[in-house]
Amino acid sequence: MVITNPKYEEALLRYNKKIAGASVEDMVLNVGPQHPSTHGVLRLELITDGEIVKEVIPHIGYLHRCFEKHAESLTYQQTIPFTDRMDYLASMNNSHAFVMGVERMMGIDKDIPKRVEYIRVLVCELNRIASHLIAIGTYGIDIGAFTPFLWCFRDREHIMGMLEWASGSRMLYNYIWVGGLFYDLPVGFEERCRDFVEYFKPKMVELNQLLTDNQVFISRTANVGVLPLDVAINYGCSGPMLRASGLKWDLRRIDNYSAYPEIDFEIPIGQGLMGKVGDCWDRYKVRVDEIEQSLRIVEQCLDRLQKELKRTPDFDPRAKMPRKTIPKAQDYYVRCEGAKGELGFYFITDGKSEIPTRVKSRGPSFNNLSVLPELSKGVLIADLIAIVGSIDFVLGEVDR
Amino acid sequence: MSFDDIKNLLTEKLGDTVITGEETGGLQPALLINPDDIAAVCLELRNNPKTYFDFLSSLSGVHYNDETNRYGVVYHLASIPYKTQLTLKISKAHPKESNELPEFKSVTPVYRTADWHEREAYDMLGIYFEGHPDLRRILLPDDWEGFPLRKDYQNAEFYKGIRID
Q: Chain A closest CA to B15's CA: distance in Å? A: 27
Query: Cβ of A367 and B113 within 8 Å?
Result: yes
Q: Is-contact A210 A148, C-beta < 8 A? A: yes
Going by pLDDT thresholds of 50, 70 and 90, the confidence category of residue A317 is confident
pTM, two decimals, is: 0.90
- Count of domains for chain B: 1
CATH number of the structural domain spanning residue B139: 3.30.460.80
Given a cut of 70, whether residue A137 has pLDDT beyond it is yes
Q: Which domain holds residue B120?
A: 3-163
Nearest CB neighbour to A64, from listed B25, B132, B139: B139
Q: What is the dihedral of CA A391, A392, A395, A398, to 10 degrees?
A: -50
Residue A130: per-residue pLDDT: 92
Q: Is A320 near chain B, with CB under 8 Å? A: no
B53, B79, B99, B138, best to mutate vs chain A, most A CBs in 10 Å: B138
Give residue-wise pLDDT tens across range A94-129: 999 999 989 888 888 888 888 888 999 999 999 999
Given a cut of 70, whether residue A2 has pLDDT beyond it is no
Nearest CB neighbour to B80, from listed A69, A233, A370: A233
Residue B27: per-residue pLDDT: 83
Residue A173 CB burial class (10 angstroms; 0-12, 13-18, ≥19): buried
Give residue-wise pLDDT tens across range B39-90: 888 888 888 888 888 899 889 999 988 888 889 999 999 998 888 888 999 9
Q: Which domain holds residue A109?
A: 67-399
- Evaluate whether residue A306 is within a structural domain: yes
- Evaluate whether residue A35 is within a structural domain: no
Q: Chain B closest CA to A2's CA: distance in Å? A: 6
| H or E stretch covering A94 | helix A91-106
- Evaluate whether residue A30 is within a structural domain: no
- Count of domains for chain A: 1
Residue A332, SS3 per DSSP: strand
- Evaluate whether residue A43 is within a structural domain: no
Q: Chain A closest CA to B115's CA: distance in Å? A: 8
- Evaluate whether residue A340 is within a structural domain: yes
B23, B24, B27, best to mutate vs chain A, most A CBs in 10 Å: B27
Query: Cβ of B128 and A360 within 8 Å?
Result: no
CATH number of the structural domain spanning residue A318: 1.10.645.10
